[in-house]
A and B are shown apart, each in its own frame.
Chain A
Amino acid sequence: MSDHESTYVPKTGIERWLDERLPIIRFGVDYATIPTPRNLNYWWTFGGILALCLVIQIVTGIVLAMHYTASADHAFDSVERIMRDVNWGWAIRYVHANGASMFFLAVYIHMARGLYYGSYKAPREMIWLLGCVIFLLMMMTAFMGYVLPWGQMSFHGAVVITNLLGAIPVVGPGILTWIQGGFAVDEPTLKRFFSLHYLLPFVIFGVVFLHLWALHQSSQNNPVGVLIPKERRKQDTLPFHPYFTVKDGFALVLFLMLFSVFVFFMPNALGHADNYIPANPLQTPPHIVPEWYLLPFYAMLRGIPDKFGGVVVMFASIGLLFALPWLDTSKVRSMRFRPAMRWFFIILLVVYFFLGWCGAHLPDEPVIPGVDGPDLFDGNLNSYLWLTRFLTAYYFGYFLVITPWMGLRETPLPVPEYVSSPVLSHDEKNG
């Protein structure tokens, strides 16, 4: 859609004057009327939802920073002061804290949509890669934000996650001390995390800009997955506004309703009660868990018996996403036309969900209570440890074996030539 011709005609003298000097209105109008595949379904509304999530986080975050104190002695109290004394502080903090969860919920759906409809394949690899970068930045930002209230989960979460870097051979301990700014997580760690937590959302904003630039350069994917040739643009696309602003807007309202349910009726449901206990470096909470959206990765980390191996597997699970455009050998983008692959994808979603489930449980806990399974190596087969390992194997198998192999072996269903062909042939059948 990069060659989308400008339709803007300046009407007044001022607009003409501005258009010659800074064509900013032209840019806005052209962007709003960009030709968009007419068959986009509601899974495509999460991009807009994510943009709103980012804006909500930045706006509420800037406001919270006006009241927050980044100091080991005062951080916890300053957060409690926001909750009790600052006008509307409770609402702003709950929106910010639950906003992170909503952001991840939306990004997981957005990524699953990209996986299902093959949005990562040529010519859209750069959109996908930039999206993966955004996902990594989001995880870093969310983790550092979770540390700021300086509760028990904040503190010991920071200890565990920074110590991951210490597992790197040779340079690990040096990097760990550098990141922590001392020999333990303490005041210097909190201060730098606050600084970076404030910075990174703006970096995300910049990468989102590149993500959209790449999107409009290589055109949007659609549920059928075929490219729209220039001569079919009239039949197969609609201007973004008003057609998709309205569709996105409707989805946005539904999403904000869910958001509000959490903020106003169950604001602490996704958090952990231990984080309302001030940080105590001398005692680790009996059951330490990250926020729900990081649980699958946490499970993979714990499932590997070797310290560095666990760290490698955890980072590799995200690294695979970067390699995906080159691991997929199938020419067919949309899994609508890949009936077998569709099942493997649905299993992947289930596996990812249960990896998160495993991450929330202690490794030694039995999966089926009361059943004493046989021991295998270092654990009981009926334990979350072994369930995690089986699920991790599928996760890696999906990307490294199933995706390249299925592309070569499967017989896809016939792919329509144009976006509108399935609809039209359906019409013909019905007279």
Chain B
Amino acid sequence: MAEEVVNAHAGGDEHSRRDFIHIAAGAAAVGGAALAAWPLIDQMSPAADTLALASIEFDLSKVTEGQQVVVKFRGKPLFVRYRTPKEIAEAKAADHADLKDPEPDSARVKAGHEQYLILIGSCTHLGCVPTFGAGEYGGWFCPCHGSQYDTSGRIRKGPAPKNLVVPDYTYLSATKVKVG
């Protein structure tokens, strides 16, 4: 009996050296194809010159109170808003409101420069540019799908999930900032 079983395996079911060669060759081919495909896939990622985006400097004295200036930063709009005392007060008062993405106003501006709100002007829903001063909360209103932001750039109503992004920036002097 035992011999018969052994013979049956010898008939072709047993893992042979040929099977090993098939599997090894197949694995090498798949691995090689993946390696060859990677440059073709990764070429679509941002190129070195795209990544080497220069930071920009901005003179805040260009913005008048109650207005905003829009400049291009890394291909997207950058909002620089000079808030009125009333708008700052509204933003602070809403710190404890029922916020979708809770964040106090103080965390979104630099201490001592509360009047200047600097944001990436790209709706966190699908990237449209929100309209200045529109909407129920006096901040921004996105024309695409109706998201509304307050005077701190926080999401208050509509489909957007997050607050408008505050980029990294530092004050070089009282009226000059370096963004990025």
Contacts and interface: CB of A to CB of B under 8 A. Distances in A.
B133 to A, nearest CB: 14
Contacts of B157: 378
Contacts of A364: 146
A167 B121 CA distance: 18
A327 interface: no
A139 B144 CA distance: 20
A363 interface: yes
Contact of A163 (B47, B77, B127): B127
A192 B44 CA distance: 8
Contacts of B173: none
A160 B77 contact: no
A307 B160 CA distance: 7
A281 interface: yes
A283 B129 contact: yes
A199 to B, nearest CB: 13
Contact of A184 (B45, B76, B143): B76
A304 to B, nearest CB: 8
Interface stretch (A33-41, A174-182, A223-231): A174-182
Interface string B1-29: 00000000000000000000000000000
A104 B47 CA distance: 36
Interface string B115-140: 00000011001111111000000000
Interface stretch (B58-66, B67-75, B86-94, B103-111): B67-75
Interface string B36-72: 0000000011110010010000000000000000101
Q: Is the interface of A mostly helix, strand, loop or mixed?
A: loop
A163 B126 contact: yes
B145 A302 contact: yes
A283 B72 CA distance: 11
A182 B145 contact: no
B72 A282 contact: yes
A166 B122 CA distance: 13
A306 B47 contact: no
A285 B127 CA distance: 13
Contact of B50 (A182, A281, A302, A305): A182
A362 B129 CA distance: 16
B99 to A, nearest CB: 15
B85 interface: no
A182 B121 CA distance: 17
A210 interface: no
B50 A307 contact: no
B46 A282 contact: no
A181 B77 contact: no
Contacts of B72: 281-282
Contact of A306 (B50, B127, B159): B159
B45 A177 contact: yes
A302 B158 CA distance: 10
Given A307-B161, A363-B145, A184 B126 contact: no
Q: Which of A167, A188, A305, A306 has most chain B Cβ within 10 Å?
A: A188
Interface residues of B, number: 30
Q: Which of A163, A304, A364 has most chain B Cβ within 10 Å?
A: A163
Contact of B146 (A167, A188, A282, A362): A362
Given A160-B126, A288-B143, A364-B146, A185 B75 contact: yes
Contacts of A162: 127
Q: Which of B50, B53, B74, B146 has most chain A Cβ within 10 Å?
A: B50
A159 B125 contact: no
Interface string A331-353: 00000000000000000000000
A177 B50 CA distance: 11
Nearest to A192: B44
A54 interface: no
Interface string A91-122: 00000000000000000000000000000000
B125 to A, nearest CB: 6
Nearest to B74: A183
B143 A282 contact: no
Interface string A236-258: 00000000000000000000000
Given A281-B76, A307-B160, A179 B129 contact: no
Contacts of A181: 44-47, 50
A184 B75 contact: yes
A287 B44 contact: no
A83 B45 CA distance: 34
Given A156-B128, A179-B44, A305 B143 contact: no
A177 B132 CA distance: 27
B75 A281 contact: yes
13 contacts: A159-B127, A160-B128, A160-B144, A181-B47, A181-B50, A182-B50, A183-B46, A183-B74, A183-B76, A281-B77, A282-B70, A284-B130, A302-B159
Interface of A: 156, 159-160, 162-164, 166-167, 177-179, 181-186, 188, 192, 281-288, 302, 304-307, 310, 362-364, 378
Given A159-B127, A288-B144, 20 more contacts: A156-B128, A156-B129, A156-B144, A163-B125, A167-B126, A178-B44, A181-B50, A182-B46, A183-B75, A184-B74, A184-B75, A184-B76, A184-B122, A192-B44, A281-B72, A282-B121, A284-B143, A288-B143, A306-B159, A363-B145
Interface of B: 44-47, 50, 53, 70, 72, 74-77, 121-122, 125-131, 142-146, 157, 159-161
Shortest beta-carbon contacts, A-B, top 3: A184-B75, A163-B126, A163-B127
